[in-house]
Chains A and B, each alone.
Chain A
């Protein structure tokens, strides 16, 4: 009994202390979860009451009966008696198209540039690599005015292309793929060469399947990155038809001239959370499957 913290079957005077040590991490975690989950719970509850109840300032902590009404309204109606809104179904589609284009585009471009940098010897290879690397240091906000000018001159304001293309170049993803490609043994590349696979076949038949887990992980991160874009969509969309859901929510929160439709805002917020959650859940499965299946 010299060390009461080892062994699950320890008994005696130290048992109570041990139990506390076991419980402590759980307590910390539960408190943490409550702190994170509470606002989401409030949102969920809020979306089931009418605007007047929320407006009075004492929102009940149990669900109300207005859920169907609120969600239905938010999904498809374009106005209430107070204000004009873009319906969630339109904003949702815009956001999904934008986030998917950004995620797919970023992965496609970065996996190809990483392939070039990692597997081919060409003049100025390292120059290009460092050029990609340096763009890591420039966040969207820094280059936003010239980018806006270019996009406007190309007539891409209020288009999906304008929403997504300027956000597609990604140094981070290129670096991640490059690092992964460097772990692929040379002999595998050589075996493919001897089997007769040219660069394109090697990419599609071998590299792409091996990158599955990396692609899945990046897709999750990049989809959420695209989904959460705020500043750029705010600049390049003018018409309500092109509004993304993140912008839609902020626009719904008024400037104080009129009372807000909090019930609809809450419902829209809950709907806005669903696609990223779905992507995480769906990709997580694929992600784990990839981890179990592939082996190098």
Chain B
């Protein structure tokens, strides 16, 4: 068990800079999720921690040791891959034992450690089987077993659930969470799935174009997204983003349709400033009044527990509304909706950063 510190780490491929300086200290026993769209550099960052990619600049420190120039095997980490990467010709037992064998761990200890891991992962019955005789979920458990038996300083997960079907993914997600709670090993977990990130993480590092957009707990990232990118990436259905202008008094925001939305606190300094306005679909309700905007209902998705309404504002902007329960409107209806008080997110219109609350 150990801390993992990433200090101003950079990665360049020739003139192309893939990681533009990331700083984060992962606490002992913490579960950090690296979240971002494909190509954002999250896997590259993880692979630099693992030692599978060279580090162009900065330092990676695991358990107080700078590991930049160490081989993966000397970094005291274990990694779980997306396609499991099990050795096809070895039994489940041998797959888990291989790393220990190479390190010269005595046989009886290998057996106890593998047996223990197999028990935790409920793989006891499969120890003599080959990976090809297992289902996807079982294979991924073997891959995790291979990591557990090593008792490493840190676990690295590279999209471990992406190859599984939706149901199995949910199940394995819970298993990983339980496992990490039980073992308390520092974990770095790469995913592009925000549900995985929200449910597993102690903290989330949201990445985009090789830059850390935001580092925070899942709720921080959801409730106070640091940029338009994070706002759009976290939450499903995604946050509505509209153009608005802070009114002359600094008391509210004027929407394109003329609706006036009151601000949580007055912003006299920002009077007449154009902003991007973020409203989560679940924070819109049907109501009248000054803050309300008329919308035309274009599509209604009834999901059972809640309903997603695709509406269009008079100026042509689309607006998503998520309502609890069964639909109360149909396509073609005219509704009047307003955001709940205090549920507005304000972003700078030019660079998309969140305005100070």
Contact = CB atoms under 8 A, between A and B. Distances in A.
A195 B105 CA distance: 13
B153 to A, nearest CB: 13
A2 B294 CA distance: 64
Interface stretch (A38-46, A74-82, A203-211): A203-211
Contacts of B87: 188, 191-192, 206
A293 to B, nearest CB: 7
Interface in A184-224: 185, 187-188, 190-197, 201, 205-206, 209-210, 212
Contact of B130 (A185, A205, A206, A293): A293
A191 B85 contact: yes
Contacts of B72: 190, 193-194
A206 B88 CA distance: 9
Interface in B70-106: 71-73, 77-79, 81-83, 85-89, 98-99, 102-103
Q: Looking at A187, A201, A212, which has the most chain B CB atoms within 10 Å of its CB?
A: A187
A194 B52 CA distance: 9
Contacts of A197: 73, 98, 102
Interface in B95-125: 98-99, 102-103
Interface in B38-59: 50-52
Interface residues of B, number: 25
A187 B82 contact: yes
Interface in B214-231: none
Contact of A295 (B88, B98, B103): B88
Contact of B88 (A193, A201, A294): A294
A130 B72 CA distance: 32
A198 to B, nearest CB: 8
Contacts of B78: 194
Interface of A: 185, 187-188, 190-197, 201, 205-206, 209-210, 212, 293-296
Interface of B: 50-52, 71-73, 77-79, 81-83, 85-89, 98-99, 102-103, 130-132, 146
Top-8 shortest CB links A-B = A295-B132, A196-B73, A195-B99, A187-B85, A191-B85, A209-B89, A196-B102, A187-B81
